[in-house]
Structure 1
Amino acid sequence: MIQRDPKYFQQPERNIPDRFIEGSEHYCGRMNPFAYVPFSAGPRNCIGQKFALQEEKIMLATLLSRYRVESGDYLGNVNIKAALILKPKSSVNIRFIQRI
């Protein structure tokens, strides 16, 4: 839940990737190093963290260079289930539109 705490992030329920890019209008500035910890933190954090992040960036860059992604649902109506990770309670419809 810390990733959605308004104490650390403005509009925490919105997906604003630019909040991590220095110089963007949504940039959070220097934040508490434990405010965003998708791989845990400290001496026992995930050993595959750097590999997973690189793999994720490559996969997303490849996918987004070939397709435009649109939501078929209004994201404000998506119910969230909090578990080890946050995920929707039911499926979310998305469309992949091939770029020409």
Structure 2
Amino acid sequence: MARKKQLSSEPEWTARDEALWSTAEMGVLLRQNRLKQRQRMSVPFAMHHASDETPYAHGPFRLLSLQAAGDGSYVHNGLFLLEVGVAESAADEEHA
């Protein structure tokens, strides 16, 4: 007879749990001036803001590139007309 699988009473550790744990850990290390003791992480892109720039966390990401469509030139192809005052038609002029 097969054994029944025992259900764990503890919920599964999630990516959200890991992010919260890492944030709390970095806060404690930063407050104690020991953040440099945290292990450096490798990342798939070049660090370029400062020579001592260090990534301390990682996670899934999606690169978004928000750019204007086209080459940035402007071509006006519509007509804007604003008329102020009373417009009279030819029919109204005949009855006057």
Fold agreement, TM-score > 0.5: no
Q: TM-score range by the shorter chain?
A: under 0.3
The structure in which a higher percent of residues are strand is: 1
Larger RCO (alpha carbons 8 Å, 6+ apart) = 1
User: What TM-score comes out, normalization by structure 1 length?
Assistant: 0.20
Structure number with bigger Rg? 2
